[in-house]
Amino acid sequence: MHLAPVEQSTPSRCVGCTARGRAVCSVFSPAAARAFDRLARPITLARGETLVWEDDDTLLVGFIVSGVVKLTASLADGREQILGLAGAGDMVGRPFGTRSSYSVTAVGPVRLCALGRPAFEQFAAAHPEVEHALLLRALDELDRARRWMLLLGRKSAGERVASLLVEFAERSPGNDVAFPLTRQQMGDLLGLSIETVSRELTKLRGAGLITLTDLKHFRVEDERCLRQRAA
């Protein structure tokens, strides 16, 4: 997934990566891209497989090539709370830290480029552009968390569902967009009941903004209006 500009010194398996241009790897110099290629290894996750467990030592740092993972934390009574999603181009794992504050679980088939946390920390220290890119990505994640606080605190149920569909669509390479979460998981993420999620999806379909091609896929019919509905 190493997204250095395509040139003769770019590692061959980085060329044509589907996450190209969206990951931290996109700013790697040719030297950094080659170094990362020597250190990283491909990892595949099946649906429901967990890469990182909450409160465990962070052993890996990975960049998602394709697929979506959910970030979850457990409440005191054992219930699971979905904190967010990560998809192609996103980084999972915590460099420069020891324990993970959430679990990382595949919600469908996932491919990553991953390496051990200590190796990644040494790699980042040897290539200043990597540490700079990590800082920018951390600031982007902070902005995303603040927008999510706004969504949960102020947006209506319809605005929340529309916002989530926009995010799903932005992560999808084609017109036929997959629901990476079940209706129940969408409700847990948005702070809504499963009935409310289903009702709002029906409203969006009735307004001609989306087409529900089946239970697991939808198609955006009017992107501008869907974004307006998401407020």
pLDDT digits (tens, 9 = 90+) for 173-230: 778 898 989 999 999 889 899 999 999 999 999 999 999 988 889 999 999 999 999 9
| Higher-confidence position of 153 and 102 | 102
* Mean pLDDT confidence for 147-174: 86
With 90 as the cut, is the pLDDT of residue 34 above it?
no
Q: Do 86 and 140 touch, CB atoms closer than 8 A?
A: no
Answer whether residue 18 shows pLDDT above 60: yes
Tokens read off for 186 = 């969408």
Q: What is the per-residue pLDDT for 141?
A: 82
Check residue 206 and give left, alpha or beta (phi > 0: left; psi -120 to 50: alpha): alpha
pLDDT band of residue 6 (cuts 50, 70, 90) is very low
Supply angle C-alpha 66, 170, 156, rounded to 5. 125
DSSP codes of every residue in the chain: ---PPSSTTS-GGGTT-TTTTTSGGGG--HHHHHHHHHH-EEEEE-TT-EEE-TTSB--EEEEEEES-EEEEEE-TTS-EEEEEEE-TT-EES-TT-SB-SSEEEESS-EEEEEEEHHHHHHHHHH-HHHHHHHHHHHHHHHHHHHHHHHHHHH--HHHHHHHHHHHHHHH-SSSEEE--S-HHHHHHHHT--HHHHHHHHHHHHHTTSEEEEETTEEEES-HHHHHHHT-
Q: Mean pLDDT in the chain? A: 86
Whole-model pTM over 0.95: no
What pLDDT, on the 0 to 100 scale, is given for residue 7? 44
Nearest Cα neighbor of 177 from 187, 166, 190 is 166
- For the segment 145-150, the average pLDDT, to the nearest whole number, is 80
1-10, 56-65, 153-162, 207-216: least confidently modelled range:
1-10
The answer to whether the beta carbons of residues 88 and 65 sit under 8 Å apart is yes
Fold of 12-128: Jelly Rolls (2.60.120)
- Quick one: fold of 151-229? Arc Repressor Mutant, subunit A (1.10.10)
- Mean pLDDT calculated for residue range 151-157: 84
- C-alpha–C-alpha distance, residues 92 and 112, integer Å: 9
CA distance 10 to 27: 12
What's the pLDDT score for residue 203? Answer: 95
pLDDT > 90 in the chain, percent: 42
pLDDT at 151 over 80: no
User: What is the pLDDT averaged over residues 42-56?
Assistant: 93
Q: What is the tens place of the pLDDT at every residue in 75-123? A: 888 888 888 889 888 889 888 877 888 999 999 899 999 999 999 999 9
Provide, rounded to the nearest whole percent, the portion of the chain with pLDDT above 70: 91
- How is the chain split into domains, by residue range? 12-128, 151-229
Q: Which residue has the higher pLDDT, 4 or 29?
A: 29
pLDDT for 9 equals 57
Closest C-alpha among 102, 101, 92 to residue 65: 92
